[in-house]
Amino acid sequence: MDLKSLVRDIPDFPKPGILFRDITTLLRDPEGLRYTIDFLTQKCKEAAITADYVIGIESRGFIFGSPLAYKLGVGFIPVRKRGKLPAAVHSIEYELEYGTDCLEVHQDALPEASRVLIVDDLIATGGTASATAKLVQKIGCKLVGFAFIIELQDLQGRKYLPDVPIISLIEY
């Protein structure tokens, strides 16, 4: 299946000069969504990624991370923006193009030494994925890989990630 054909390009969003890769058109296609999850699962197995948990990065990482965790037979853990989780959290601040942001995970979400696969819809500059990896390692867990639906290769986000398997289904 040609997944690229299911992704809509929106020029000048969220600001002039940006070409936004919109996955909502992929999500609304039942066959495309099923294929995406099945293909992502296959790629994880081919890469010999063995995880105890899938972490989905807010918010589109939840969309793909939950069914991937189901297919892999492991638990799902959400990593959220600051203030969204109700119990005690581990947190990490990270740099954005203009300022900083913060990611959090519940303190009781991941047992120490758990093997973790991080999932998001897209990797661009790699900042959010890198911060999530640092959060996982700070907790004492083992990062076993990353899985993305889309990779924007020109932004070279992959080079900012730890040396573990990195899966991307669509490359631009």
Q: Which residues are catalytic?
A: 60, 97
- Could you tell me if 116 and 142 are in contact, meaning their C-beta atoms sit under 8 angstroms apart? yes
Residue 152 three-state SS: coil
Angle between helices 60-72 and 30-46 in degrees, nearest 10: 60
List, in sequence order, every beta strand (DSSP E) within 24-74. Answer: 53-57
Three-state secondary structure of 71-133 = HHCCEEEEEEECCCCCCCEEEEEEEECCEEEEEEEECCCCCCCCEEEEEEEEECCCHHHHHHH
Q: Positive or negative, the Cα torsion across 25, 28, 29, 34?
A: positive
Residue 113, strand partner residues: none
Q: Phi/psi zone of residue 114: left (φ > 0), alpha (ψ -120 to 50 degrees), beta?
A: beta
- Report yes or no: 94 and 128 within 8 Å, Cβ to Cβ: yes
